[in-house]
A and B are shown apart, each in its own frame.
Chain A
């Protein structure tokens, strides 16, 4: 099977982060030949991709193709899974994130993650957002922490709805609000990259629209990677799209091109609903 990729991922030498072509935003995350094994079973095969700065990249593909696995490579969440082994190179701003001496806690502050199911801590709304900045020692006093909590909630588009009950449990919010709370929590540590694994799959269309609007705003300041099963969502929110199939990256390209004229037949079959 030939792998069709656009110039942004056309690097040949592993580990060499090539400068982005003119007009393209610089690559923030660069991976080369990333393979992942769960015990004996290989789940990802030589994935090389450049994820551009300050834009949204979506990962699409059939269930089990390795989207979540690959997403977890970007903040070393696979470390937490028993028997999971990652090979290849993952660079954040040119820095190898798999270096043994790298501080994983710090890495996860730089690369935030939002999951499919909203998972607020069983604490107050305030504490949920304050948690990250606090453990990373990002603030010197309560006033600064308050400031971060408020800004993060505002950015996540939740502040107006919760400003009078910041001390109430985050778990008492609606699903869509909980998801925005998790986003507020993820951006409170001012990450460079925000990973979102099916962030809207448990939400209704209105809550989804609010999150999508939010993603579009966050893109000004963050590099966002979103895994989604909704083709329409990928088409709506992302500038780049990567299609995975059976653990391989089949095609990456501008979202518009992928959804109007994909180069690879497998991509075409998948997005038009012809996958056998």
Chain B
């Protein structure tokens, strides 16, 4: 495994690589905002904000296409090798994952538009908010690792995804209880449940991003590293 900080002889190439990473981080910021606003729109049943989230998703898609073009152009012009090649190819993956997280936010916003008023317990909404916050910390920690990998931190993020999954399962059971108590809750609960599922998927994309970050820096598979560490324990 080789990590280094030395710069390219061709400085414009170095600049392009830096630009690529900056592009990812910017896109990450847009996606974090989308998840955050989609959740706020949902818990406040704020249709205007939901519309904004849906509208902004177009910019995220555009940002992803921009990154694709940049990466393809670099591959064609620079014939990247080794760590550069990994960075460029993995950036395409990261952008795809970010775009998917953006889609999750858009789905939540779309569902929000179908919820007319809060009939069900605010406690359920706060469960979704909590899950959303957890996913957001996952996404931002994952992006941090794209710029500077911390192996222990990367592993911690992957392990923390289990918490997201567990939270989803417990919300699922709660929703089920409400639906059984009063069938009039079924519609809203179903919407909320799908939103929770969207967040859970967003969490999965965050771990994909961490895996990509690990691959960029080491050329190895993070899941293998986690397995090795488990065996050592």
**Residues of A near any B CB (own CB < 8 A):** 231-232, 235, 259-265, 267-269, 271-276
Contacts and interface: CB of A to CB of B under 8 A. Distances in A.
Nearest to A266: B2
B84 interface: yes
A231 B13 CA distance: 17
B85 interface: yes
Given A268-B2, A269-B4, A262 B9 contact: no
B224 interface: no
Given A231-B79, A261-B220, A274-B6, 4 more contacts: A261-B219, A271-B81, A272-B80, A272-B84
Contacts of B182: none
5 contacts: A259-B82, A261-B82, A272-B84, A273-B9, A273-B81
A263 B219 CA distance: 10
Contact of A272 (B1, B8, B219, B220): B8
Contacts of A263: 1-2
B76 interface: no
A263 B83 CA distance: 11
Interface of B: 1-2, 4, 6-10, 13, 79-86, 219-220
Contacts of A276: 6, 9
Contacts of A261: 1-2, 82, 86, 219-220
Contacts of A232: 79
A264 B2 contact: yes
B9 A268 contact: no
Nearest to B215: A261
A23 B1 CA distance: 25
Nearest to A230: B79
B82 to A, nearest CB: 5
B60 to A, nearest CB: 30
B interface secondary structure, majority: loop
Most chain A CB within 10 A, of B8, B9, B79, B81, is at: B81
A267 B85 CA distance: 14
Contacts of B219: 260-261
A264 B82 CA distance: 11
Contacts of A267: 2, 82
Nearest to B89: A260
A268 B10 contact: no
B82 A260 contact: yes
A60 to B, nearest CB: 11
A147 B159 CA distance: 68
Given A273-B10, A273-B13, A275-B9, A265 B82 contact: no
A269 B6 contact: yes
Nearest to B220: A261
Contacts of A274: 4, 6-9
A274 B78 CA distance: 13
A58 to B, nearest CB: 13
A133 B102 CA distance: 69
B79 A268 contact: no
Contact of B86 (A260, A264, A271, A273): A260
A264 B83 CA distance: 12
Contacts of A269: 4, 6
Contacts of A235: 81
B74 to A, nearest CB: 13
B13 to A, nearest CB: 7
A241 to B, nearest CB: 11
A268 B3 CA distance: 9
B6 A260 contact: no
A15 B4 CA distance: 37
A107 B2 CA distance: 40
Contacts of A268: 2, 4, 82-83
A275 B84 CA distance: 14
A271 B82 contact: yes
A260 B85 contact: yes
Contacts of B85: 259-260
A272 B83 contact: yes
Contacts of A273: 8-10, 13, 81
